[in-house]
Amino acid sequence: MSSPQELSPPKARFILHSERLGPLPLVNHFIDRIGLESLLDRHVPSDARCAVPHARALGVLLRSIIVEREPIYRQQETVHGFASGMFGIGSEEMNHLSDDRLGRALDHLFDADRAALLTEVALAVAERFGVNFDECHNDSTTISFYGSYRGASGRKIRGRTAPVITYGHSKQHRPDMKQLLFILTMTADGNIPVAFRCTDGNTSDSRTHIDTWNTLRALAGRSDFLYVADTNQYPT
C-alpha cells in the first residue's frame, strides 16, 4: 500500500508564462536601426511634464498601424495585449497611455515640420540600408470621405494650412464623394517608399510632379535618376 507522500502529485519545477510578441520584435529591429524614435523626439519634442513623451506615443500609434490598426481609444488595451516593452514604452508609461495623451502627440506632430521629418527618415533608411535612387516610381490615389466635412476647406490651423476635402477626379470612380489626393513615390530598388504628400482633393496630378521631383533631388543628392510618373490629366 502506498504512503500519502507517494500519492501526492509531484511539485512542478517550471511555470509556463506566455506572452504575445507577434511581428513586433522584427518591427522594433527596423525602428531601432532607422533611429526613428530619436528623429521623432527631435522634431516633436516633449517637456519634462509629459508622462509619455510624444515620440514614444507616436511610436505606439505606428506599431499599432502595422500590427493591429485599432482606433486611438483602444490603444491602451492593444498595448496591454502584448509583452511588456513591445510597443516601445515601459509599464509605468502604459498606465498613462490614454486617448487624450495620444491625441496631444498627434497635435504636436501636426505643428511640426513634417516635410523635414519625412526627409530625414527617408535619408536614414537610404543610408542604413543602401537604397539605390537610380529609378523612382511615382503614383497617386484618392482617399474618399463620407459626410460633408464643411470645416475641411483649407483653413489655417495654428499657422498651418490643412488640405481641402472636396470633390475632384475620383480614381475610385466615386464622383459623389469628397476626397483627398495621396501621392506616393517609391524606389525601384526594393519598392521602398521615399516620399509622400497629401494634398487637396481637386489637385491635378500634373501639378504635383515638380514638388515631388525637387524632393527626390534633395534625397538623392543628384538629378541624374529616372523618374517614372503615372498621371491622370483633368481640369480643376
Domain ranges of the chain: 24-112, 132-229
Q: What is the mean pLDDT of the segment spanning 218-229?
A: 92
Residue 77, classified by CB atoms within 10 Å of its CB into exposed (0-12), middle (13-18) or buried (19+), is: exposed
Sequence-distant (≥ 6) Cβ neighbours of residue 210 within 8 angstroms: none
Task: Decide: residue 26, CB within 10 A, 0-12 exposed, 13-18 middle, 19+ buried.
Answer: exposed
pLDDT band at 132 (very low <50, low <70, confident <90, very high): very high
- Report the distance separating Cα 183 and Cα 136, nearest Å: 13
Global pTM exceeds 0.85: no
Cβ-count burial of 43 within 10 angstroms (0-12 exposed, 13-18 middle, 19+ buried)?
A: buried
Q: Which residues pair with 138 in a beta bridge?
A: 185, 229
Is the pLDDT reported for residue 3 higher than 70? no
pLDDT at 234 over 50: no
pLDDT level of residue 235 (50, 70, 90 thresholds): very low
Residue 6 is predicted with a pLDDT of 59
Q: In this predicted model, which residue has the larger pLDDT, 68 or 132? A: 132
Integer-rounded Cα radius of gyration of the chain: 24
Is the CA virtual torsion 95, 25, 55, 160 positive or negative? negative
Average pLDDT score over residue span 80-105: 90
Grid coordinates representing 186 are 517609391
